[in-house]
């Protein structure tokens, strides 16, 4: 996700970039893109997050989970806050999807260090990141900071940029959205599997659903049945896209938040159990989360 987002920023702003990634081929790919765009002079590669912060006044992070965010921001030796080193009003934007408590904790410590931090998780997947049509769900301490980030950064990477309230509320919106997505993808997969096994043409069935009350993003934009839609993971053996392990993680965040807030999430909990099971199986661990269709079919009686 981070690479296509940064690529759009590079193309559309031509601002100086300092990049860091633990996966060296990703930074190499980014520097090669800059070379192709004749913007090599605008891009340098840092050795640590601290080195990024030492040179930048606006920093965007995209990380897998809460522990990674804590480490990248708070590590006393090589973390971002160590690199800021007392400079005030450095703008920190974390687009990871993590637990609300970690998001607010890191933002509080960043504030104590003189920085301003926003949480800005995204929705739209890799396709949206590449197209620059992501939805940003932004938690910001002030509307002024949100507007600044929106006008200078988010508009170059996304189409829908929403101020969700205070810091951490972006994460609230994201985990609620992804809980709904996980539930609806299972529903779409079960429905398509049932119809196909009963002899229905999958494209015809999807067309009926998508002009009826059962329509959802999981049926009309990201249908899990192979051959229904081109250019989606289901039509390329579920490669690329949003992994089953990531969906399991996001559903875990939602279920944990529900427990903390004493909210009932019956279907969310079941969806979490299903994706947890699927993501531990070798065949599905690195597949897109729409591979739940294949999993259901493989586990149905022949």
Please tell me whether the overall predicted TM-score, pTM, comes out greater than 0.85 for this model.
Answer: yes
Rg of the chain, C-alpha, whole Å: 20
Given the residues 12, 159, 174, 302, the one annotated as active site: 174
Strand partners, 161: 136
Please say if the pLDDT value at position 69 is more than 90.
yes
Give the per-residue pLDDT at 86. 84
Residue 12 annotated among the catalytic residues of the structure: no
pLDDT digits (tens, 9 = 90+) for 193-235: 999 999 999 999 999 999 999 999 999 999 999 999 999 999 9
Contact in structure between 20 and 44 (CB atoms under 8 Å) = no
| pLDDT at 126 (0 to 100) | 81
Domains of the chain in start order, with CATH, are 2-166 (3.40.50.720), 173-298 (1.10.1040.10)
- From residue 146, give the alpha-carbon distance in Å to each of 51, 143, 151, 246: 26, 5, 9, 27
- Alpha-carbon distance values, 254 to 49, 179, 242, 251, 265 (Å): 29, 6, 17, 5, 9
The closest alpha carbon to 283, from 243, 250, 242, belongs to 243
Give residue 182's pLDDT: 98
Tell me: pLDDT of 146 over 80: yes
Helix axes 100-112, 169-197, angle to 10 degrees: 150
> Cα 69 vs. chain centroid, distance in angstroms?
14
What pLDDT, on a 0 to 100 scale, did the predictor assign at position 302?
Answer: 59
Average pLDDT of every residue of the chain? 95
Kindly report the three-state secondary structure assignment for every residue of 205-260: HHHHHCCCCCCCHHHHCCCCCCCCCCCCHHHHCCCCCCEHHHHHHHHHHHHHHHHH
């Amino acid at each position: 996700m981070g690479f296509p987002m940064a690529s759009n920023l590079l193309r559309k702003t031509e601002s100086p970039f300092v990049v860091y990634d633990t996966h060296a081929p990703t930074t190499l790919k980014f520097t090669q893109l800059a070379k192709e765009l004749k913007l090599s002079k605008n891009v340098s590669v840092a050795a640590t997050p601290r080195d990024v912060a030492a040179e930048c006044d606006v920093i965007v992070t995209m990380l897998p989970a809460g522990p990674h965010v804590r480490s990248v921001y708070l590590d006393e030796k090589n973390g971002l806050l160590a690199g800021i080193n007392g400079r005030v009003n450095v703008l920190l934007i974390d687009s990871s999807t993590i637990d609300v408590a970690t998001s607010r904790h890191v933002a509080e410590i960043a504030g104590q260090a003189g920085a301003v931090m926003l949480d800005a998780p995204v929705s739209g997947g890799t396709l949206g990141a590449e197209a620059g049509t992501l939805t940003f769900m932004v938690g910001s301490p002030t509307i002024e900071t949100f507007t600044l980030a929106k006008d200078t950064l988010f508009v170059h990477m996304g189409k829908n940029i929403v101020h969700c309230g205070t810091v951490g509320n972006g994460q609230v919106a994201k985990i609620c959205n992804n809980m709904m997505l996980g539930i609806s993808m299972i529903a779409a997969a079960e429905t398509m599997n049932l119809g196909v096994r009963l002899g229905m043409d999958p494209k015809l069935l999807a067309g009926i659903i998508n002009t009826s009350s059962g329509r959802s993003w999981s049926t009309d934009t990201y249908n899990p049945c192979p051959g229904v839609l081109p250019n989606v993971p289901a039509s390329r053996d579920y490669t690329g896209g949003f992994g089953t392990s990531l969906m399991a993680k996001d559903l875990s965040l939602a279920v944990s938040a529900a427990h903390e807030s004493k909210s009932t999430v019956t279907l969310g909990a079941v969806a979490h159990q299903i994706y947890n099971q699927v993501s531990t199986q070798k065949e599905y661990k690195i597949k897109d989360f729409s591979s739940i269709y294949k999993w259901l079919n493989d586990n149905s009686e022949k």
